Amino acid sequence: MYPQRDLNRLAVAKAGLRLGIAVRRLRAARAAAGVLRPLAWWDRARARWQRLAPFARPAAWGLAILVRRARASGSRSSAPQAGSGRAAPRSS
């Protein structure tokens, strides 16, 4: 039907096309992985938050109570405390 030489030439051209398609497909997959990496990170962070969310509100209330107590006890003391921002008086 077709001469063998033409069939061989078409087979070589077809192999070249398949190779080019495979290379482009690999490049596209790598590019997609690079683009989706931040989205995957965001998805994992959101999933972790959903697991921790039921405990967040009670923990926040507990932390708020502790901070309020620390501020209240710190305002009663008249002596400067370490880290309060006040400089100690110098003796010469």
Structural domain contains residue 87: no
Structural domain contains residue 22: yes
Host domain of residue 54: 1-69
Give the range among 7-11, 30-34, 46-50, 88-92 with minimum mean pLDDT: 88-92
The helix, strand and coil proportions of the chain, stated in percent and rounded to the nearest 5, come to: 80, 0, 20
Calculate the average pLDDT of the chain.
85
Q: What is the pLDDT of residue 57?
A: 83
Number of separate domains in the chain: 1
Structural domain contains residue 13: yes
In the chain, the percentage of residues whose pLDDT exceeds 90 is: 46
Structural domain contains residue 14: yes
Digit-coded pLDDT (tens) for 32-70: 999 999 898 999 999 998 888 888 888 888 889 999 988
pTM over 0.95: no
Structural domain contains residue 35: yes
